[in-house]
Structure 1
Amino acid sequence: MAGYATALEKNVSEQISKGKACLYCGKEIKQPATGRPKKFCSETCRRIWWRIHPEVSEQKDTALYTMTCAHCGKEFVSYGNQKRKYCGHNCYIKDRFWRGEENGVSEN
């Protein structure tokens, strides 16, 4: 059984390297006649693969900005956006809509 699994794994990795199988799940991909060849069978596989392999992306160090969150005060790194104010969506929501409620002050 181990020999069959090894052969199957080798076959799938060969198909992936040729661009005939999805990089994430190994499912067969039908390539378009024109345009750039596909690497993934679906949007879900593409998103998961890039989340697992962030080191593969070609990010430039000049586009990394160290910022301080306007709500919680923590430092965070923003890629490509110098004007970002918050470390995440939760801090944005809390700063925008819950500002008075956190301190026990009502704005009525």
Structure 2
Amino acid sequence: MTFDITPIVEAVAAVLCAVVTCVLVPYIKSKTTAEQQKEINAWVKIAVAAAEQIYVGSGRGEEKKAYVLEWLRAHGVTVDDEKLDAMIEAAVYELSQGLIPLEGVVVGEEKSNE
């Protein structure tokens, strides 16, 4: 008597494909998105810090934001405007609170030429 295991092998292969499709692929995509998010946040912080150094003084927020947006677009950062605005505001807040350790960046005060 011979036993044909082909249907069992096919069933196991189908289950494995379903697991890969339903579990592994979304997991990999979520990890890529998280890494991309970290990278975008880093770019935003760099652009905000650069704008703070270039446009010294208060009342220049629109110039700073325009610079940040242009810099990010030039470096290939494509995020919808609402999310990008929130990320920029968060980076400005972190910078003003000293949460982003950047040497030589003074926020809210004029730099002195000592």
TM-score (structure 2 length as normaliser): 0.27
More helix by share: 2
Q: Using CA pairs under 8 Å that are at least 6 residues apart, name the structure with larger relative contact order, 1 or 2.
A: 2
More strand by share: 1
